[in-house]
Structure 1
Amino acid sequence: MASARISSLKTSPASNARLHNDNRFRALLADEDWGRLPAAVWRRFSKRLAEGGTIIYVGEIDEVTFNRAGWWLAQAARLIGGPLPTGSETGVPAIVTVTEDAAAGGQIWSRIATRSDGFPQVIHSCKRFAGPTGLEEYVGCGISMALKISVAQDALVFRSTGYSLQLGPFRLPLPEWLTPGDLTVTHRDLGGDEFRFTLEIIHPRFGMLIRQSAVFREAMP
């Protein structure tokens, strides 16, 4: 059922939204690393929308796993807006929207994971081209994580390098015992205008806390 619903959505490799060349992600990589990525990944991460413009990706979640500590972490994270997946259902549609945030000079990412029963989960975050690595993800309640991007096996990889809490004008680094561990997001092109999004959180003591994987393609506006 979920696959049928996804396939019925009109999709296109190119959006009709008004776009500008965007070198913000490319500037964070060496030319050699950027050159190792497939052309389709270049296109996805070189789109800068006009203010308020949005790109929509539609897909399906095909893997979600938690260990016991990961499940409790995801539930506890609801206190700061629920930035982590909380359900383990697979074979359900998912939507990602990317909106240009001109005020902050970044991108607002919204992820919608539908459920066969009940309301979908919606996760919001903002990617900002700031911080010690030049890229950070703000998840709400003053909490952000610095991200370092790299290329591994022709995929674009985002890895957390530290977490911080913003209190007014002050930014306080969070100690390791207050963080979930190492977060890695991988964007891998699959050809045919599709790509795989994979999220993993690994704790040095509790191991693989959460793993989620989904396949997406850009929707026709």
Structure 2
Amino acid sequence: MQTILGESWRQLPSALQAHYGDGLTVEHGRMDIEYPRFMQPLFSVLHLLGALVNRSGHDLETVVEKRLAGERQHWHRSIRYADGRTLRFDSYWVAAGEHQLIEFVNPLLGLQMAPHVENGRLHYEGVRFVLKLGQLLLPIPEWLALGHTSIVEEALDERRYRMDFRLHHPLLGQIFRYSGTFSTTAQPVSTLGSDPNRTRTGL
């Protein structure tokens, strides 16, 4: 992220800089996930492809582990529901030209985004979806896929931040949102061990 933002990196509050720190970072927080009920069949299919999650919930215990490996930043997320079931989804990020990145949810499908800093907040705007075939990146316009992605991250103090992810379809309106508050540490705390109730997917 520091490379992608360039000089704008210095405008980020310390909580957001820690969020994208080098090495291993671990974040604990609570998250809400919501989407219209009529979208359930589609999200269940996307879930099988490793994209988005297909279960909503409120005030969900969430752990996010991030680490750099070469030119990739790997994200490992674990969400625990009130019934004890844990859902995990993983992805990895790569730089994509000047001031942009791609988040891949599997080896083929990714979302290209353009982050920028505005009034101390980090904003992401979706650019396009991509299909990776070997060395080729085939563009998929947002309007042909799920719609426009936007993310806002805002520092609350030196360690905590709030994030808000929204997916807005041009015809159906807002079709997906997840938001929450997190605290970042550098301690390798792992809650992602073996769990027979866990479902694995990607976002």
Query: TM range, normalised to the smaller chain?
Result: 0.7 to 0.9
**Alpha-carbon distance in structure 2 between the residues aligned to 1:69 and 1:203:** 14
**Which of 137, 155, 160 in structure 2 is aligned with 1:194?**
160
**Alpha-carbon distance in structure 2 between the residues aligned to 1:159 and 1:118:** 34
Task: State the match for 1:15 in structure 2.
Answer: none
For residues 47-83 of structure 1, give each alpha carbon's deviation from its aligned partner in whole angstroms, at most 9, with x where no partner exists. 222xxxx32111111x3221245434322211312x3
Task: State the match for 2:36 in structure 1.
Answer: 67
Task: State the match for 2:5 in structure 1.
Answer: 29
Q: Are 2:26 and 1:56 equivalent residues in the alignment?
A: yes
**Which of 60, 64, 70 in structure 2 is aligned with 1:92?**
60
**Alpha-carbon distance in structure 2 between the residues aligned to 1:186 and 1:163:** 19
**Alpha-carbon distance in structure 2 between the residues aligned to 1:77 and 1:106:** 23
Q: TM-score, normalised by structure 2?
A: 0.81
Higher normalized strand content (fraction of residues): 2
Task: State the match for 1:128 in structure 2.
Answer: 94
Residue identity matched to 1:27: T
Task: State the match for 1:40 in structure 2.
Answer: 15
Number of equivalent positions: 187
Task: State the match for 2:201 in structure 1.
Answer: none
Task: State the match for 1:16 in structure 2.
Answer: none
Structure 1 residue 36: Cα displacement: 3.5
**Alpha-carbon distance in structure 2 between the residues aligned to 1:176 and 1:197:** 22
**Which of 169, 178, 188 in structure 2 is aligned with 1:212?**
178
Local SS of the residue matching 1:84: coil
- Using a 3 Å threshold, how does the CA distance of structure 1 residues 175 and 129 change in structure 2: closer, same or farther? closer
- Identify unmatched segments of 5+ residues in structure 1: 1-24
**Alpha-carbon distance in structure 2 between the residues aligned to 1:132 and 1:79:** 32
Runs (4+) of structure 1 exceeding 6 A deviation are none
- Using a 3 Å threshold, how does the CA distance of structure 1 residues 88 and 95 change in structure 2: closer, same or farther? same
Residue identity matched to 1:26: Q
**Which of 158, 163, 168 in structure 1 is aligned with 2:124?**
158
Q: Are 2:151 and 1:182 equivalent residues in the alignment?
A: no
Task: State the match for 1:76 in structure 2.
Answer: 45
Structure 1 residue 191: Cα displacement: 1.0
Task: Check the 8 A contact 2:34/2:57 in 1, yes or no.
Answer: no
Task: Check the 8 A contact 2:100/2:115 in 1, yes or no.
Answer: no
Local SS of the residue matching 2:15: helix
Larger radius of gyration: 1
- Using a 3 Å threshold, how does the CA distance of structure 1 residues 175 and 97 change in structure 2: closer, same or farther? same
Task: Check the 8 A contact 2:165/2:177 in 1, yes or no.
Answer: yes
Select the structure with the greater relative contact order (CA < 8 A; seq sep ≥ 6): 2
Structure 1 residue 111: Cα displacement: 1.3
- Identify unmatched segments of 5+ residues in structure 2: 189-203
Local SS of the residue matching 2:40: helix
Residue identity matched to 1:60: R
Percentage of pairs with the same residue: 24
Residue identity matched to 1:149: P
